Amino acid sequence: MTQGLLMSMMLLVAMAVVCRSAEPPVKDVVLAIHGGTAGPKESLTPEREKAVRADMKRALEAGYAILERDGKALDAVEAAIRVMEDSPEFNAGKGAVFTHEGQVEMDASIMEGNTRGAGAVASVTVIKNPISAARAVMERTKHVLLSGRGAEVFATKEGLETVDPAYFWTERRWQQIQKVWEQEKQQAESLDRKNSAAVDQEREPWGTVGAIALDNAGDLAAGTSTGGRSNKMYGRVGDSPIIGAGTFAENGVCAVSGTGEGEYFIRFVAAYDIAALMKYKNLPVESAAAEVVFDKLKAAGGEGGVIALDAEGRFAAPYNTPGMYRGYVTRDGQIEVRLYAD
Ligand code: ASP
């Protein structure tokens, strides 16, 4: 091999590395959130951008207020996610997307790194804040995941707030699903069902919410909440309530919450894989997260991103989509919210 060729190859490798770590890890982070992956920048109106940023800031403030008073990472994660679940801007709680049948079915999970305790709910339709139901499953049952009617009966008995499914109806999501149904109708003759679903998903970025935190005691926690994928089949469950796929936390290692095509996150056990790369291969959080998001998920055709925080407060947020709504607070209270690369 000539020296010139070798030099060009080395340059290419170096460029690839630079692209992958375009956003250097941030230090001293105590709480980070995501509001899901984002489609092309042009699709976000200035009004929506303003609303998204404002609600993400409120979510970070709610979580930070707890951590600042020496509170628990788990409480901060729940508080931050509840703010986003109550906002119509995200695909979780109030702003959840519709299924193929025009219903809302939500999934959520939460995990604490000190005990490896975890709780989750799947396919729930009347629980106002699924993240709190997930936490109740963790703290008040001997199980990890409750689904559907069972989860709802449990949440009601535990005194969690339930609402009429009409509460989750929003004009924006309704218009979105109408377009998808219209498109489906038009494609029915020319494409098979699988292909038409793929086209739908390209039109619709995901938009799950998640939070990860590190408290003064050194405990890590992670949580994720979602309406799942727009136009999903009745009963479909994604990665968000699956511990190790969409959510994971282990003290001394990392806390992770993911967003994107859940089927890939489940098959690649994405959140746990990041922790495993850190534990067994000694990779820093940013390299482990990038390896999973780019070399594993993206290489297999899976779109999405993660937020990941290590035990020292080092934060990384790689994504392989046009954007990912994300934000963090540092130990001294500095808040940053970013939606795209610039
Ligand atoms: N991962 C979620 C799911 O597949 C969707 C999302 O992140 O927006 O259910």
Nearest CA to ligand 1 atom 7: 259
Which domains are delineated in the chain? 24-338 (3.60.20.30)
Q: Which residues contact 303 (CB under 8 A, 6 or more apart)?
A: 37, 260, 261, 264, 297, 320, 321
Give the up-direction half-sphere exposure of residue 62: CA atoms within 13 A in the CB hemisphere.
20
Q: What are phi and psi of 128, to 5 degrees?
A: -65, -40
- Tokens 């959080």 belong to residue: 285
Nearest in space to 239 (alpha carbons), one of 292, 280, 202: 292
Residues 6 or more apart whose CB falls under 8 angstroms from that of 276 comprise none
- Tell me if 205 CB under 6 Å of ligand 1: no
Query: How many whole angstroms separate alpha carbon 248 and alpha carbon 250?
Result: 7
Backbone angles phi, psi at 288, to 5 degrees: -65, -45
Q: Is the CB of 34 under 6 A from ligand 1?
A: no
DSSP code, position 123 = E
Query: What is the distance between the alpha carbons of residues 86 and 95, in angstroms, rounded to a whole number?
Result: 8
Q: Give me the residue label for tokens 């029915």.
A: 188
Q: How high is the mean pLDDT in each 10-residue block of the chain (342 residues)?
A: 53 44 82 95 92 98 98 98 97 96 97 98 98 98 98 98 97 91 82 53 70 98 97 97 98 98 98 98 98 98 97 98 96 97 84
Answer whether 325 contacts ligand 1 (Cβ < 6 A).
no
100 φ, ψ (degrees, to nearest 5): -60, -25
Write out the two tokens for 71.
Answer: 């509170």
- Residue 201's pLDDT is 47
Q: Look at residue 13 in the predicted model and tell me its pLDDT.
A: 47
How many Å apart are CA 327 and CA 211, to the nearest integer?
A: 9
Ligand 1 binding pocket mutation candidate from 81, 173, 208, 268 (most atoms within 8 A of CB): 208
pLDDT at residue 9, rounded to an integer: 53
Indicate which residues carry an active-site annotation. Answer: 208
Give the model's pLDDT for residue 193.
56
Q: What is the CA radius of gyration of the chain?
A: 19
Q: What φ, ψ does residue 282 adopt, rounded to 5°?
A: 60, 25
Q: How far apart are CA 115 and CA 16, in angstroms?
A: 38
- Dihedrals φ, ψ of 285, to 5°? -55, -40
pLDDT of residue 3: 56
In DSSP notation, 230-274 reads TTPPTT---STTSBTTTEEEETTTEEEEEEE-HHHHHHTTHHHHH
The residue whose CB lies within 8 Å of the most ligand 1 atoms, and thus the one to mutate among 85, 206, 237, is 206
Beta carbon of 260 within 6 Å of any ligand 1 atom? yes
Q: Are 54 and 83 in contact (CB under 8 A)?
A: no
- The per-residue pLDDT for 43 is 85
Q: What's residue 199's pLDDT?
A: 46
Q: How far apart are CA 254 and CA 324, in angstroms?
A: 20
